[in-house]
Structures are given as structure tokens and as C-alpha cells.
Structure 1
Amino acid sequence: MTTELARRIAITIGALLLFRLGTQIPIAGLNISTFSPTPDFISRLSIFALGLIPYLTAAILIRLLSVVWRGLNLLERSGEGGRRKLARATLGLTLGLAAFQAYGIASALTAIPGLVRNPDGWFVLTATASMVGGVFVLVWLSEQITRHGIGNGLALILSVGIVVALPRDIAGILDLMRQGAISSNLVLGHALFWIATVVVIVLVEGARRNISVQFGALNFGTRQLPVRDAMLPVKLNSAGFLIPVTVAPWIFFLPLAVAGLVLGSDHPLVAAAYRHLQLGQPAHMILVSIAVFVLAFVYTANVVDPEYTAKSLAQRNGAIPGVAAGEATADYLDRVVSLTTVVGAVYLTALQLIPEVFELYGIGLPYSMIVNGGGALVVVGTALDIKTQVRDVSLTNPGGVRR
């Protein structure tokens, strides 16, 4: 193990330990000890109660705006200065979302008898400030991991939150199995299913559609670089998971919320719509599947922009063998990306539907113990990313030179 790798691992472990420590520090002013046993939601009322959700939501909203607003897209591609402006906008939106959510939680806590020592405005203010501050501490920790540690900080913190809950969930499942509440065959079936799912995720996340690219000779003074062959890799899943799956429910729940405000939540049509859009209902499965599938294409078109890539290749004297430069290259890349994205979109849709299928057919484990496809994808993707970074750091000398 190199000194650089050891330093990065130490920083990552230290940041994750601070994250776990923060999850054990309760919001000041709560009488948690008076509740025995402590309800699950009360045990999670720490300074990190909001987690990274406000920041991720803000980042997703900014990313979606860049898809539909060309000016924001150009700002993102304009260099370090443009990316800094987007980062500041994301943090500003995070502050607003976190404050709104924290205030709602703090206000709701004052209505629970015996939970808050002094349920007044001062408690609401301090609790709100604690939870908002916790969000920004987590954002800072994630940035330290990404810059100075191993792996993507956001994904790693999310993964740790999922992994640390597994022992408790497994123990709860085994206890229910001993009581006869669930069958051992169902538990074994779930175990085998998730093993197979992890294998599929590893294969798909590592899969690439490689496009051959040839770069012409370049002159640097008296030096000349010869013609070079390279590969332009296109991932099967370029859209990731968070944006398609997080945004998909908004497409129909947001209009439904507006209808509820206009017509009233007790209106027969609104009530029927909410009933049919519950988890595991056929209407919910169909609409979410369509939304995830379409969003995977929309986001991939932003991440892998054929026109931008074709222009970049032309500027670097690169071309795809047998394909004319310019518009023909953009059309070729568009066809390849579209066909590749079909596979990725089907894959994301299938992962999204896992808990819904379990619910529909009544073969799921208790709700609090369900591991969904998104969680599995985040954990496996993070592990693969760490593996790649550890290998790269191990094979790199100080100064960034490969061994």
C-alpha cells in the first residue's frame, strides 16, 4: 500500500466516523429517554436527521434545469468558473429546501406530548438551525472524501447509511422467521434474488459500448505526434439512478397535489387517483415505469451530448473511422447512444419496480426491511468506484505519473 493510498483511506474513514458520530447526537431539547422503547422515527432525530436529501434534491433540480435551459447547460460546460456558479446556486437552493423541511419537522415535534422539554418558538428555531447545519456539515464531509479520500463522497455517505441498517434488518427478519411470521423459503428466495440482482448490477455498471476513434497527427514545434487510435466508451447506464427515479413520481404527484388544492383532497376524483397511485398498484407501476424510462433518455442526452462530442472530436482532429466529421458524426453518436440507452432504461425501470412487484404479489418482507433496487445500485456502484480509485492510486506515483 502506497503512502498516498493510506492517507486517502484514513481521510475517508475519519469522515465516515464523523458522519456516524453525528447520527448519534440528538437534537437539543428532546426527552428521548422518556420513550421506552424508543420509536424508530424518534431514534433518528439527530443533527443529521435530514441527511443529504435537501442537497441531492437541489442538485437534481439544477441538473434538470440544465437539461431544458440551454444557457445553464452552456454555463456548466464553460469551465471552472461556470461550475463554481452552479455549485453556489445548488448550495443556495439547498439552504432554502433544508430550512423549509427542518422547520416543518421541528414544528411537528412540538405537537408530540412529552417529547420536547420546552415546546416554544426557541426550540423550533434551534432545532431548525441544528438540522440545517447538519446538512451542510454532511455536504462538507462528502466534498472532503471526494477531493482527498477514496470514492464519491455523496454516494459513500448514502451507502454507509444503507449498509449500517442491514445487520438490524437481518436480525429483525430472522426474529420474525423464528416466530413463524414469515417462512424460511421466502427469506431464502429473497437472499438468492438479491445475490442475482447484485451480479446483474455489477455486469451492467461495468458494461461499455466502445466506439473506435482515430486522432490525426499533431505538430508541436519540431515534435510530431503520430496518428493515434482510441476508444470512446458509452455506458449502458449513463443516467445513474437518482435523477430518473427521484423525479419520476413528481410528474404525476405534483399535478395531483395541485388538483387536491383546487378541488379538495376529499373530492371523489382526487381520492380515487391517490388510491390507484399507491405503491404496488398497477397504475402506479405503469406510470412510474414510463416516467423512469423517458427520464433515462432525457438525462442521458444531457450527459452524452452527441453534438457537443462531435464538435469536441473535430477540434482535436479526431474522427470515427468511416463516418464523416460534423453532422454525420453527431447522427452516428446519437444512434449508438439511443440504442445503448434502451438497455440502460429497461435496467433502471426493472430496479425501480422490484419493491412494487413484491408488494403487488404479497411476497415482500416487512416494509421497514425492504431493500430496494436503488439502494442496491448505490451500494454496488460505490464499491465499484472505490475499487477503481484504489487501483488507480496504487498504480500512480507521486506527481500523477503512472507506474
Structure 2
Amino acid sequence: MNRELARRIALTIGALLLFRLGTQIPIAGVSTSSLLPTSALIARLSLFALGLVPYLTAAIFVRLLSVVWPGVSSLERSGESGRRKIARATLGLTLVLAAFQAYGIASALTSIPGLVRSPDGWFVAAATASMVGGVFVLVWLSEQITRHGIGNGLALILSAGFLISIPQDVSGIVGLVQSGAISGYLVLGHAVFWIVTVAVIVLFEEARRNIPVTFGARRVGTRYLPARNAVLAIKLNSAGFLIPVTVAPWIFFLPLTFAGLVLGGDHPAVAAVYGHLQMGQPVHLMLVSIAVFVLAFVYTAYVVDPEYTAKCLAARDGAIPGVARGEATADYLDRVVSLTTVVGAVYLTALQVIPEVFDLYGIGLPYSMVINGGAVLVVVCTALDIKAQVRDVSLTNPGGVRR
């Protein structure tokens, strides 16, 4: 292990320890000693109570704008200055979302008897500021990990949050098995299922559709670059997980919310539709599956833009053997990406509906809605990213020169 790798690992561990410490510091003004056993979850309200949810929501919203609004997309591709503007806009939206959510939580806490020492406006303001500050501390920690540590900071903090809950889930399941509430064979079946799922995720995330590309000889400034061969690697799951899965429920819940505002939340039609759209219901399972599948295609078209890629290849004197440059290259890439995305979309949809399928057939365990396919995907991808970065840093000499 070289010094650079040791420094990066130490910084990453230190940042994660700060994250863990922040989850144990309660909001100022909350009297945790007066909590009832039935309200144990409230005792976990901490400076990091909001987590990274406001930031991720803001980032997803800005990314969706770049999909539907060409101006934002061109700004993102305009260079470092454009990306800084998008980052500032994301942080500004994060502030609004975090403040709104924190104010709602703080106001709700004041209505619980005996929980808050002084349930007045000062507590609401202090609690709101504390939780909003916690969000930005987490954003800062994630950026430090990404820039100076090992792995993607956002994914690593999310993974740490998932992994922290595993011991408690395992303890609860062991207790249920010992009491006879659930079968040991069911638990064994789940263990085997998740081992197989992790293997499948590793296989899919490391799989690539490699398209051969040739670059002609050209001169860049005073340098002469000879002709060379390369590959254009396309992931099976280019859409990732967060955007398709996060946006999918918006497609039918936003219209339902609007209908509830117009007709009233107690309207029989609204109540009936809302009942069918609950987690674990067949209608919800079907609609979410369709939405995730379609959104995987939509977002992949943005991430892997065939026309933009064809233009970049032509600008660098690159071509796909046997395919004419320009529109023919864009059409070829579009066909390849579409066929590849079919496999990726099916894979992504299957991971998303795992907990609902378990509950639908009555074979779920208490952890199913927390440790689901998406959480496992995030953890596995984070581990693969760390593995790749450790290898790269280990093979790099001081000064950035590869060994």
C-alpha cells in the first residue's frame, strides 16, 4: 500500500466516522429521556435526520430538467463553468427542500407531549437550522470523499446508512425464528436469494457492450497522435438506479395528489385509487414496473446520446469500422444502445419490485422494505467503485504516472 492510498483510505474512514457520530447527536431541545418505548424511532432524530434525501431530490430534479430542457443539457456540457452553475443551482434547491422538510418535522415534534423541553418558535427555528445544516455537512463530507478519498462520496454514505441497519435486522429476524413466528427455511431461502442477487448484480454491472472504434492519425498542437484502435464501452444499465426508481412513483402519485386537491382526499374514487396504489398491491407493482422500464430507456437516451457521441467521434477523426460517419453512426449507436437497454431495463425493474413480490406472495421478511434490490445495488456498485479506485491508486506513482 502506497502513501497516497493510505491517505485516501484514512480520509474516507474519518469522514464515515463523522457521519456516524452525527447520527448519534440528537436535535437540540429534544428531551430523549422522556420518550416512551413506543416512540423509540423519534429518539433517532439527529442532526443528520434528513440524510442526503433533499440533495438527491434536488439533483434528480436538475437532471430531469437537463433531459427535457436542452438549455440545461448544453450548460452541463459547456465545461467547468457550466457545471459549477448547475452545482450552485442544485445546492440552492437543496436549501429550499431541506428547510421545508425540516420545518415540517420540527413543527410536528412540538405537538408531542413531553418530547420538546420548550415547544416554542425558538425550538422550531433551532431544530430547522440544525437539520438543514446537517444536510449540507453531509453534502460536504461526500464531496471530500469523492475528491480526496476512495469511492463516490454520495454512494458511500448511502451504503453506510444501509449497512448500519443490517445488524438490527438480523437480530430481529433471529428473535422471530427463535419464537417460531417465521420459519428458519424461509430465512435460509432469503439468504441464498440475496447471495445469488449480489452475484447477478456484479455480473450485470461489470458487463459492457464494446463497440470497436478506429481513430485516424492527427496533430494536436505540437504533438502527433498516430492512428489507434479503441472501444466504446456501453453499460447494460446506463440509467443507474436513483432516477428511474425515484421518478417512477411521481408519474401516478402527482396526478392522484392533484385529484385529491380538486375532488377532496375523502372522495370515494380518490380513496379507491389510493388504496390500489399502496406498496405491495398488484396495481402498484404493475405500474411501477412499467414506469421503471420506460424511464430506464428515457434516461439512457440522455446519458448515452447517439447523436452527441457520433459528433464527438467525427470531431476526433474516429469511426466505427464498416459504418459511415455522421447520421449512419448515430443510427447504429441508437440500435445498439436500444437493444442493450432492453436487458438493462428488465434487470433494473426486477431489482425494484423484489420487496413487493415478496409481500404479494407472503414470503417477505421484516427487512424487505428497507434492504431491497435498490439498496443492494447501491452497496455492490459502491464496492466495485472502491475496488477500481484502489487498483488505480495502487498502480499510480506520485505525480500521476502509471506504473
Q: TM-score, normalised by structure 1?
A: 0.98
Shift of 1:66: 0.2
Shift of 1:282: 1.0
Q: In 2 relative to 1, CA 272–222 (structure 1 residues): closer, same or farther, beyond 3 Å?
A: closer
Shift of 1:366: 1.9
Q: In 1, Cα distance between the equivalents of 2:272 and 2:109?
A: 31
Shift of 1:370: 4.5
Contact kept, 8 Å, 1:9 with 1:149, in 2: the verdict is yes
Contact kept, 8 Å, 1:297 with 1:345, in 2: the verdict is yes
Contact kept, 8 Å, 2:355 with 2:368, in 1: the verdict is no
Consecutive aligned runs of 4 or more in structure 1 exceeding 6 Å deviation: none
Question: For residue 295 of structure 1, what is the aligned residue in structure 2?
Answer: 295
Contact kept, 8 Å, 1:364 with 1:370, in 2: the verdict is no
- Unmatched 5+ stretches in structure 1: none
Cα deviation digits, residues 154-205 of structure 1 (max 9, x gap): 0000000000110111011001110111110110111011111100000000
Matched position secondary structure for 1:165: helix
Q: In 2, Cα distance between the equivalents of 1:218 and 1:381?
A: 37
Q: In 1, Cα distance between the equivalents of 2:135 and 2:312?
A: 38
Aligned amino acid, residue 177 of structure 2 = M
Q: In 2, Cα distance between the equivalents of 1:76 and 1:262?
A: 38
Matched position secondary structure for 1:212: strand
| Number of residues of Structure 1 aligned to a counterpart in Structure 2 | 403
Contact kept, 8 Å, 2:169 with 2:366, in 1: the verdict is no
Contact kept, 8 Å, 1:103 with 1:128, in 2: the verdict is yes
Cα deviation digits, residues 190-247 of structure 1 (max 9, x gap): 1011111100000000000000000001235776432200000000001110000011
Cα deviation digits, residues 15-62 of structure 1 (max 9, x gap): 000000000000011111122537342132000000000000000000
Question: For residue 278 of structure 2, what is the aligned residue in structure 1?
Answer: 278
Question: For residue 21 of structure 1, what is the aligned residue in structure 2?
Answer: 21
Question: For residue 309 of structure 1, what is the aligned residue in structure 2?
Answer: 309
RMSD between aligned residues: 1.2
Q: In 2, Cα distance between the equivalents of 1:369 and 1:69?
A: 34
Between 221-230 and 249-258, the greater mean CA deviation after superposition: 221-230
Q: TM-score, normalised by structure 2?
A: 0.98
Q: In 2, Cα distance between the equivalents of 1:252 and 1:397?
A: 52
Q: In 2, Cα distance between the equivalents of 1:95 and 1:223?
A: 47
Alignment of 1:38-117 (within 5 A): 39-117=39-117
Q: In 1, Cα distance between the equivalents of 2:367 and 2:278?
A: 14
Question: For residue 128 of structure 1, what is the aligned residue in structure 2?
Answer: 128
Matched position secondary structure for 1:102: helix
Identity %: 79
- Unmatched 5+ stretches in structure 2: none
Matched position secondary structure for 1:82: helix
Q: In 2 relative to 1, CA 10–222 (structure 1 residues): closer, same or farther, beyond 3 Å?
A: closer
Q: In 2 relative to 1, CA 221–341 (structure 1 residues): closer, same or farther, beyond 3 Å?
A: closer
Aligned amino acid, residue 352 of structure 2 = Q
Q: In 2, Cα distance between the equivalents of 1:47 and 1:104?
A: 15
Q: In 1, Cα distance between the equivalents of 2:219 and 2:254?
A: 57
Contact kept, 8 Å, 1:173 with 1:369, in 2: the verdict is no
Q: In 1, Cα distance between the equivalents of 2:270 and 2:166?
A: 37
Cα deviation digits, residues 288-342 of structure 1 (max 9, x gap): 0111011111111111111111000011110000000001001101111111011
- 2:30 is the alignment partner of 1:33: no
Aligned amino acid, residue 59 of structure 1 = A
Contact kept, 8 Å, 1:201 with 1:380, in 2: the verdict is yes
Aligned amino acid, residue 331 of structure 1 = D
Question: For residue 228 of structure 1, what is the aligned residue in structure 2?
Answer: 228
Aligned amino acid, residue 323 of structure 1 = V
Aligned amino acid, residue 203 of structure 1 = L
Contact kept, 8 Å, 1:55 with 1:135, in 2: the verdict is yes
